[in-house]
Amino acid sequence: MGNCIGKDNRHRQSQQLNQNFNAQPQQQQQMQLQSQPQPQAQMTAAQTAFIYQSLYQTHASNGRQLSQQPARPVPQQPMQPPPQEPLIKTAVGMKCYSSINKNSIKLIPKPNEPNTYSIEFEIVTTYESHMTIYFFAQEMVDIKGIPYFYVDTSKYPPPQFYKIPVGNQNFQNLCFINTAQYKIDELFFKNKQIYPIIVEILPIYDLNLMPPQSQATYFIFSRTQENLSLKPIRQKFTVSGVSYELMEIFGSSKENDEDSRECIICMAETKNTAVMPCAHVCLCEACALLIQKEAKPKCPICRGKIKGYMKIEAAAEKNDGK
């Protein structure tokens, strides 16, 4: 009975409130509606993701996970190691039809003219050749990637040109230099950019049969006791616009003696690999691969530290004179 009375009272109160609300003026109703709390604005995607991640972490810590897990970041691909250089590099022999003997270079004092020297050396040519001597030249590359030599003729002598016949020639008493006209730093190649003397030789033949080639030898001045001398520091061989650094090797025999051709380790295979930087050709390729696995490999001939290996291929196998 008490419950029924309570329900009736609440029903009457609700009806009374509705009647009072409807009886209010329209403006007052609008003010009351505006005074009521508005629903919250829709959360941004970032806020939703943050709350969702927090819930996921809370459930995961309690040993439970939500039915829909948050998207995980895409795993990055592991970085690939840089390609390793081959353990044994290959050096291909090439036929050079005109060259100078770099060890034959001499500075001969000119009589009755102090500080003036004649530049002399030996030349070996298979074809008639053109030779150019550059004084204080800088090595440059054109837009096609072809190397050439630049001389500032406002400060230094212009290049000198010569025609060389076929055969072995002694170049002497044709080219002179007065060292008193130049600074010590220029003569001794202190800036490492401008070479005091460069001798370039170019054989002349039918380019339809063979690609063009040239050889350039770079010299600097050095002092021996009281006299000046010329010292070769590098040689480059250029074929069809591509330059190769020339290097001397020791022990590559062309004789018919089989003992001189054998690998110094296995005594069975033909030696065809040089150890660097001493450039002793004393190993076959298989023995070179074995030696490079040692902790501190050394040259079998001079016991110098090995920093690399160079396989030597004969010129006839790759070039064939063409």
User: What's residue 86's pLDDT?
Assistant: 52
Q: How far apart (Å, rounded) are the C-alpha atoms in residues 316 and 94?
A: 8
Reading the block at residue 291, the tokens are 């030696």
DSSP string, 41-61: PPPPHHHHHHHHHHHHHHHHH
In sequence order, the β-bridge partners of residue 139 are 149
**What phi and psi values does residue 239 have, to the nearest 5 degrees?**
-130, 125
Neighbours of 176 (CB within 10 A): 14
In this prediction, the residues of the chain whose per-residue pLDDT falls under 70 are 1-87, 92-93, 252-259, 314-322
Q: How far apart (Å, rounded) are the C-alpha atoms in residues 64 and 20?
A: 52
Residue 309, exposed/middle/buried by CB under 10 A (0-12, 13-18, 19+)? buried
User: What's residue 161's pLDDT?
Assistant: 95
In sequence order, the β-bridge partners of residue 250 are 280
- Residue 255 DSSP label: S
pLDDT in tens, 126-158: 999 999 999 999 999 888 877 899 999 999 999
Query: Is omega for the bond preceding 159 within 30 degrees of 0, making it cis?
Result: no
pTM of the model: 0.63
Q: How far apart (Å, rounded) are the C-alpha atoms in residues 289 and 279?
A: 16
- Residue 69 DSSP label: P
- CA terminus-to-terminus distance, the chain: 124
User: What's residue 73's pLDDT?
Assistant: 57
Q: Domain 251-318 is classified in which CATH homologous superfamily? A: Zinc/RING finger domain, C3HC4 (zinc finger) (3.30.40.10)
User: What's residue 314's pLDDT?
Assistant: 63
pLDDT in tens, 40-53: 445 555 454 444 45
Q: How far apart (Å, rounded) are the C-alpha atoms in residues 284 and 252?
A: 12
Neighbours of 306 (CB within 10 A): 20
The answer to whether the Cα torsion of 190, 194, 196, 202 is positive or negative is positive
Cβ-proximal residues to 62 (8 Å cutoff; 6+ apart), any chain: none
On whether the CB atoms of residues 108 and 120 are closer than 8 A, the answer is yes
On whether the CB atoms of residues 308 and 89 are closer than 8 A, the answer is yes
**What phi and psi values does residue 83 have, to the nearest 5 degrees?**
-65, 135
Q: How far apart (Å, rounded) are the C-alpha atoms in residues 175 and 161?
A: 10
